[in-house]
């Protein structure tokens, strides 16, 4: 190799090194995908990328160490999801692939100054229809929400779930949205065209405006100091063993909860359905777990779903408080804490359609 070619090669390597060093993604990033919040904690070591992901900082359910950074491009796989992202200034944008579903994602550094989202405040077009399939329920859950490039699609969803997506309220937090019962039982189909370049924050504003326009939704926020249960690790330590992330599921019955690939924060939200107050996850346990919790329900204790055939109602056993400690190595502590509630003042059951 002559000297001229060698000097060019060295210069090229130096430029690549400088470009790579300029892209440092180490830190905490917050944003959203498919109407749901996403929180990433990233650690970059040269071209290697590791970290964790979840709906917020306290709920990091996916852990990975397989990522790469090439220039301004980030690629990694967390659980079943593949991320292909690009660093643009102080933001990260790109796509998340889960099976055959591809959705857009945009993130910004956590703690960055908050500004009101600029740009379009309404969808280019929007179709809102009552879903008459009869495939619903009383919990408000179910249905699908997909945010693909250029389109938001909601199928067979309750207004309660739509409101949760619009305001960043997880659908297991029954106590966080207060309103008439039909919010959970009536079902709708919504398809909306998203303007190019729309961020997650802008998308939420658009959805809030759509609900206000078509359902005449009005609301106010309250923060109340309420009795809560803090879910903490018991003195002897947790008995749970972390597993690889797979399809998340809960099977709920009278005196039984079966969890597969479940985050403890989601388990805390499900416990809230059985008890007389919200349950807040304060375990600091990361990752996901498979487990079964069995107890003897108190008279009148809530049963969100039909009784499990695996456990008859008459089966003897401990209280839910004892079972959590004996079987899981966790503990419920009665405390008082601030609980944020979105109070729905008004909504129309029959929306203005197209």
Same domain membership, residue 51 and residue 87: yes
Is residue 178 within 8 Å of 221, Cβ to Cβ? no
* pLDDT at 194 (0 to 100): 92
| CB-CB contact of 38 with 105 (8 Å) | yes
pLDDT at 61 (0 to 100): 79
For position 275, what pLDDT does the model report? Answer: 86
- Which residues are CB-contacts of 343 (< 8 A; sequence separation ≥ 6)? 178, 179, 219, 220, 221, 222
**Residue 212's pLDDT is what?**
96
Q: Are residues 151 and 198 in the same domain?
A: yes
Q: Answer yes or no: do 201 and 259 share one domain.
A: no
76 and 14 belong to one structural domain: yes
Question: Is 233 found in the same domain as 210?
Answer: no
pLDDT score for 329: 97
Whether the Cβ atoms of residue 230 and residue 321 lie closer than 8 Å to each other: no
**The domain containing residue 302 runs over which residues?**
224-338
Look-up of token digits 């997880």: 170
Q: What is the CATH number of the domain that holds 103?
A: 2.40.128.20
Which residue(s) pair with 40 in the sheet? 29, 53
Locus of tokens 């399939």: 133
Domain co-membership, 96 together with 12: yes
Q: Are residues 194 and 241 in the same domain?
A: no
Instruction: Return the SS3 of 49.
Output: strand
CA distance 126 to 190: 7
Is residue 176 a part of any domain in this protein?
Answer: yes
As a whole number of angstroms, the distance between CA 59 and CA 300 comes to 31
Domain count, the chain: 3
pLDDT, tens digit, for every residue of 143-200? 999 888 789 999 999 999 999 999 888 776 778 899 999 999 999 999 999 988 787 7
Asked if 305 and 249 touch (Cβ cutoff 8 Å), the reply is no
* DSSP-assigned letters across all residues of 281-349: E-S---SEEEEEEE--PPTT---SSPPPTTS-TT-----HHHHIIIIISEEEEEEEEEEEEEEEEE--S
Q: Domain check: are 211 and 173 in the same one?
A: yes
**Residue 76: inside a domain, yes or no?**
yes
| Residue 323 belongs to some domain of the structure | yes
pLDDT number for residue 257: 93
Whether 169 is covered by a domain: the verdict is yes
Pair 267, 161 in one domain: no
Q: Which of 109, 138, 158 is the last residue of a domain?
A: 109
Burial 307-344 (b: 16+ CB within 10 A, else e): ebeebeeeeeeeebeebbbebbbbbbeeeeeebebbeb
Query: Is 345 within the bounds of a domain?
Result: no
Helix count (H) and strand count (E) of the chain? 6, 20
DSSP helix/strand/coil, 159? helix
Asked whether residue 64 is domain-assigned, the answer is yes
Do 329 and 232 lie in one domain? The reply is yes
pLDDT at 81: 84
pLDDT of residue 85: 95
- The helix/strand/coil state of 90 is coil
* pLDDT for res 23: 66
Q: Which of 215, 240, 255 is the last residue of a domain?
A: 215
What residues in the chain have per-residue pLDDT under 70? 1-23, 34-35, 112-120, 172, 299-317
Does residue 41 form part of some domain? yes
- Domain stops at, among 182, 215, 248: 215
pLDDT at 332: 96
Phi, psi for 127 (deg, rounded to 5): -110, 125
User: Quick check: is 116 in a domain?
Assistant: no
């Amino acid at each position: 190799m002559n000297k001229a070619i060698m000097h060019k090669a060295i210069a090229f390597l130096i430029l690549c090194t400088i470009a790579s060093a300029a892209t440092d993604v180490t830190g905490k990033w917050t944003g959203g995908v498919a109407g749901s919040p996403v929180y990433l904690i990233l650690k970059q070591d040269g071209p290697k990328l590791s970290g964790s992901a979840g709906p917020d900082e306290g709920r990091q359910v996916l852990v990975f160490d397989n990522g790469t950074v090439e220039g301004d491009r980030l690629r990694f796989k967390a659980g079943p999801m593949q991320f292909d992202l690009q660093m643009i200034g102080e933001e990260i944008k790109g796509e998340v692939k889960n099976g055959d579903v591809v959705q857009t994602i945009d993130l910004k550094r956590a703690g960055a100054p908050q500004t009101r989202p600029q740009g379009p405040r309404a969808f280019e077009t929007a179709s809102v229809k009552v879903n008459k399939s009869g495939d619903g329920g009383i919990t408000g859950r179910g249905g699908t929400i997909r945010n693909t490039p250029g389109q938001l699609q909601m199928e067979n969803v309750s207004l309660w779930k739509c409101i949760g997506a619009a305001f960043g309220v997880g659908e297991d937090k029954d106590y966080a949205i207060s309103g008439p019962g039909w919010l959970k039982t009536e079902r709708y189909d919504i398809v909306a065209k998203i303007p190019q370049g729309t961020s997650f924050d802008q998308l939420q504003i658009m959805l809030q405006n759509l609900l206000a326009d078509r359902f005449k939704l009005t609301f106010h926020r309250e923060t109340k100091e309420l009795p809560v249960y803090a879910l903490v690790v018991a003195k002897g330590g947790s008995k749970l063993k972390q597993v690889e992330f797979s399809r998340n599921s809960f099977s709920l019955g009278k005196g039984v909860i079966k969890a597969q690939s479940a985050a403890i924060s989601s388990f805390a939200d499900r416990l809230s359905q059985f008890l007389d107050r919200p349950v807040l996850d304060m375990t600091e346990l990361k990752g996901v777990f498979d487990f079964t919790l069995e107890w003897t329900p108190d008279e009148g204790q809530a049963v969100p779903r039909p009784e499990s055939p695996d456990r008859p109602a008459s089966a003897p056993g401990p209280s839910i408080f004892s079972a959590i400690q004996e079987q899981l190595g966790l503990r419920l502590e009665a405390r008082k804490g601030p609980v944020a509630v979105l109070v729905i003042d008004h909504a129309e059951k029959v929306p203005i359609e197209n």
